[in-house]
Structure 1
């Protein structure tokens, strides 16, 4: 096992969904997708964003795209037109999640 940041095994994209944000994580290989599907849970993401996500986190699986999509409810202070926060559209939530550290089996890292 190796402790790595998520950016070593995935890419991300994010944006606003009203008062919440949408974070998509795409694994670099099918094997890494299986690992992320088993380990990158809504609870893990909720805990990682606990200071900014005041609502629930819902996870959607997109295996045909090797992706997971997370909706972070109440994470934008009311949304783009109602908030005073710097990132009103949640554009840094995806890249921010890529800094999450996870213990990944060494065998999965050689193909990433």
Structure 2
């Protein structure tokens, strides 16, 4: 069985919004985990996580020099802050949702569990 943990244990996020588009960056705390995050925090995983928001497009941009990735989600803010009837339509809230994504624990950390010396 593969151990999983929330993304926030391995990365932090930054967000922004413009109109009906949210921009979510995920930055690895430890550069050694970046490739693992790239493998598991995919466009499909993000699209599935936000399926109730019905994004019209999800695009991932990799920024290896910063050990980061940036997701652009179109059509997820109910038209934007000024158009939506939702109480909170800012993109900032979406980063917290993304950081809850469960991913496999990186191999270097999985080997260091209390069950394994």
| TM, length-normalised to structure 1 | 0.90
| Deviation at residue 60 of structure 1 after TM alignment | 0.4
Specify the alignment match of 2:18 in structure 1: 17
Specify the alignment match of 2:59 in structure 1: 58
1:78 is the counterpart of 2:96:
no
Name which one, 1 or 2, has greater alpha-carbon Rg. Answer: 2
Deviation string for 1:24-79 (max 9, x for gaps)? 10011112111111221111100011001331100000111111100111000001
Structure 2, unaligned runs of 5 or more: 113-117
Specify the alignment match of 2:115 in structure 1: none
Structure 1, unaligned runs of 5 or more: none
Give the conservation status (yes or no) of the 8 Å contact 1:13–1:95.
Answer: no
Specify the alignment match of 1:39 in structure 2: 40
Relative contact order, higher structure (CA 8 A, sep 6+): 1
Give the conservation status (yes or no) of the 8 Å contact 1:53–1:72.
Answer: no
Specify the alignment match of 1:67 in structure 2: 68
| Deviation at residue 106 of structure 1 after TM alignment | 4.1
